[in-house]
A and B are shown apart, each in its own frame.
Chain A
Amino acid sequence: MSTLQEELKYKIIDQLNLEDLSVEDIDNNDALFGDGLGLDSIDALELIVMLDKDYGIKITDPKKGKEIFSSINVLAEFIEQNRQK
């Protein structure tokens, strides 16, 4: 699981162009949106596409997205339970 969490941090930094952040700067329990990492709705779309492309997970309910993307730990757990690849 910790490898997946690291992998997610690298992907988030790379795909969302968070140039000033390193993996060490993101705590596994930090909120990804709002006051935490400060991601926005465009980032949410990027993450939904990343889940589909890299893990074969389709998010169809937008409300669910809010839950899944609450932190790295929650996202990693969701991927472990639902991944198709």
Chain B
Amino acid sequence: MKALYIKNAFAISPQATTSDRLERLEVLNGDFIHAQPINYKELIPPMSLRRMSTSVKIGLGCSLNVLKDSDCSMPDAIISSTGMGCLEDTEKFLNNILEQHEELLTPTSFIQSTHNTISAQIALHLKCKAYNNTFSHASISFESALIDSQLFVEENSNSNVLVGGVDEIGSELIPLTKELEQDIQIPFSEGGAFFLLTDNTPENLPCIKDVITYNSLSEIQLKKCTEKFLELNGLNPSSIDLLILGSNGDNFDVYYSQMKHLFPENLMALNYKNYFGEHFSASALATFLGYLILKNQKMPGRSLPKPIKNILIYNQFKGKDHGFILMSI
């Protein structure tokens, strides 16, 4: 597979938003942490903005910022991912159905509640008629969007692909999930990150070298799959400079412990959900963090003993939907 070079990226998350560096990362505390909004009014006309839910604003806000600072105003593909879709509008619409006994339902929240609203709103805003797709595969949604990006550039050389992942908290389903998943030790949150990717660049840019997903893996299979994934990319465990892991404090963190055992003991590891919280698009923010570390060769709050060339991001949710993202520079 071709490497996907990251021309530009932007994230909106519980951390202070920035496009090219994070001076510091705050560890999140609490049950639910919302994303820190940017000034959306600077980017989106008020008559459009009024109908947008949080995830649409995050998706469009990130996308416009990514394109603003790049040489590409019109991507060749828009591929987004969201685990839960536009929850705010979904909850509003479902509540309306109950309260109004399935009668006199208004159209806005229904129209806006579909998972592909985010990609569609980006395309409408840009007037972009190119390839447009949305992936909604729980915690491997973003990884699936990256795989689609790889497939797209395989068939369309010299392309610019706008790809990202976003999820929002809403007001009912996530609090209910939190009640049911009490073993998860970190806050549930929201946010998103978008990237402008290309298969062809003369510059030495950070890249997404490879992505792979598994719906289910045993702890023994995890070892074999990780080694095989690295081997396929001409690497071995000692070639990895940083592990970015999705530990959330539940019993399934044993997968992350197993993963660490595959690598040299002194390898740096970062638990990204301490900073971005738990949601199905959190791995998009892990990728954003990996991009910043590779690009700036700096890690918030830590000094680097040696240059970071290869990063492995690994995430799973409740022992299912395992995603591996290999990043390099």
Contacts and interface: CB of A to CB of B under 8 A. Distances in A.
A68 to B, nearest CB: 17
Contact of A46 (B46, B100, B108): B108
B72 interface: no
A66 interface: no
Nearest to B107: A45
A18 interface: yes
Given A18-B50, A20-B46, A42 B105 contact: no
B107 A52 contact: no
A38 to B, nearest CB: 5
Nearest to A15: B106
Contact of A19 (B50, B100, B106, B107): B50
B111 interface: yes
Contacts of A53: 100, 104
B47 interface: yes
Nearest to A54: B104
A49 B50 CA distance: 19
Interface string A54-83: 000000000000000000000000000000
Specify which of A18, A19, A49, A50 lies most central, judged by the most chain B CB atoms within 10 Å of its CB. A49
B51 interface: yes
B47 A42 contact: no
Contacts of A2: none
Contact of B47 (A15, A38, A50, A52): A38
Chain B: number of interface residues, binned into ranges: 10 to 19
A16 B50 CA distance: 8
A45 B108 CA distance: 9
Interface string B87-130: 00000000000001000111110010000000000000000000
Interface residues of A, number: 15
A46 B50 contact: no
Contact of A17 (B51, B100, B104): B51
Given A17-B50, A18-B50, A38-B47, A46 B106 contact: yes
Interface in A18-52: 18-20, 38, 40, 42, 45-46, 49-50, 52
A42 B108 contact: yes
Contacts of B51: 17, 42
B104 A49 contact: yes
B315 to A, nearest CB: 35
Specify which of B46, B50, B106, B108 lies most central, judged by the most chain A CB atoms within 10 Å of its CB. B106
Contact of A52 (B104, B108, B111): B104
A45 B50 contact: no
Given A16-B50, A17-B51, A49 B108 contact: no
Interface in B159-198: none
A40 B140 CA distance: 37
Contacts of B46: 19-20
B51 to A, nearest CB: 6
Interface of B: 46-47, 50-51, 100, 104-108, 111
Interface of A: 15-20, 38, 40, 42, 45-46, 49-50, 52-53
9 contacts: A16-B50, A17-B50, A18-B50, A38-B47, A40-B47, A42-B108, A45-B107, A50-B106, A52-B104
